[in-house]
Amino acid sequence: MIDNTQLLRHLMVNELIRLRDGQILNQTPNPLPASCKYEKIEGMLLGIAIGDALGATSEGLNPSDRRRLYGEIRDYVPDRRPGQNRPAGVGTDDTQMSFWTVEQLIDDHGLIPESLANKFCARRIWGAGGAVREFIKNLKDGQPWYKAGTDNLGNGALMRIAPIILPHLRNPHPSMYADTAIAAMMTHNSFASNATCVAFVHMLWELLGMGSPPEPDWWADTYCYIAKDLEGNTKYQHGGGILGEYSGSLWHFVSKVCRDALERKLTVEEACSAWGSGGHLFETVPSVLYILATHADEPEEAIIRAVNDTKDNDSIASIVGAAIGALHGLGSIPERWVNHLNGRIRDGGGGGQIFRLVVCSKQVFWLHSQLR
């Protein structure tokens, strides 16, 4: 196993990564129970791509505008906006970068940051965000991978971070958290993003070991417990919208707004419109956690709500899909979504690429590791 804990320590000591020295970074994840089947990992991985593809063709629309154009989206649909030609069932950069991470982990049997950074730069990304474009430019201009990312509050690292779990399935180790932080910082090197990615990977690991959904409070409480230590008392400015101006840390904002929405029993659309549901972490994180808090016991409906009731719906549905898949397994995801998923992650080569990577990841990280 590749152990990146010392690399993370080096990055922290030299202030190359924006991350506090939280307790979780030194903890070994609990072994997954014997009842955990690979179907849960398959659900997590395909949940990424399914949520992304369901939202991709109406990405960026306000829920009311989307509803007027599409009605309620419950299956893959082609893009109906003038001048857009994205076909049904094909994902975006969320799926690409997630499964390029899977590809790198398989190739090297663990995270090698240089390899992952080069993989992100080697192919055309469909709809890359500004932080990713800046990272690629910096890398191509000669900056090392650990200096190429920007202090950014977009959700572009969170949307692709789930596969980092794979090398640790059979051999839990604190390096899982080191791998998460290192992979996240490449493109979005902010305290909030790095802390969020570590917290989300920890939550995914816990979900893989669960036999039933946790209580609604678990989602925001667990996120905040982990993220508080790692983000610290940052002073981000976030404002506008119904909730007005806010100054402070992401974890504190999430705790406040999610608790209030649960107490008021808001619908997903009501809650997400209150704090916004775009690609900014102050909008994405509470949206994801609230959807899961209110619909984790309804796998299909959780993803449907993410697709229909949020603005950055492909990314939010992708993140929700990873969590739902990890909790319930592939069997909980509608078969029609799996069967009609294109599975393409690069130009040319046809579809089905992600399905081959899922099969290969099982061989490398589940069956082969079991034999050793």
Structure tokens at 4: 């990146």
Please provide the DSSP assignment of 350-363 as one string. -S-HHHHHHHHHHI
Please provide the DSSP assignment of 141-203 as one string. TT--HHHH-B---BSTTGGG-GGGGGGGSSS--THHHHHHHHHHHTTB--HHHHHHHHHHHHH
d(CA 301, CA 364): 32
Please state, as a whole number, how many other Cβ atoms lie within 10 Å of the Cβ of residue 219. 25
Listed residue (44, 37, 154) closest to 98, CA to CA: 44
d(CA 363, CA 371): 11
**Dihedral angle at the C-alpha atoms of 171, 27, 10, 132, nearest 10 degrees?**
70
Sign of the dihedral defined by the CA atoms of residues 16, 18, 21, 27, in that order? negative
Beta bridge partners of 236: 248
Q: Give ∠ CA 109-112-114 in degrees, rounded to 5.
A: 145
Predicted confidence at residue 370, as pLDDT, reads: 59
Listed residue (29, 109, 160, 2) closest to 363, CA to CA: 109
Structure tokens at 192: 């909030």
Please, what are the averages of pLDDT over each run of 10 residues along the chain (372 residues)? 96 98 97 96 98 97 97 96 86 97 98 98 95 98 98 98 98 98 98 98 98 98 98 92 91 98 98 97 98 98 98 98 98 97 87 94 87 47
**Dihedral angle at the C-alpha atoms of 329, 333, 338, 341, nearest 10 degrees?**
-110
Structure tokens at 10: 């080096």
By the 8 A CB rule, do 244 and 263 touch?
no
Structure tokens at 247: 């100054």
- Residue keyed to tokens 């609990």: 30
d(CA 102, CA 46): 12
**Radius of gyration, alpha carbons of the chain:** 19
Amino acid at 179: D
Predicted confidence at residue 103, as pLDDT, reads: 98
Listed residue (318, 259, 307) closest to 99, CA to CA: 318
Predicted confidence at residue 372, as pLDDT, reads: 47
324: number of CA atoms within 13 Å, CB side?
Answer: 34
* Domain 20-91+190-358+365-371: assigned CATH number: 1.10.4080
d(CA 117, CA 329): 30
Amino acid at 142: G
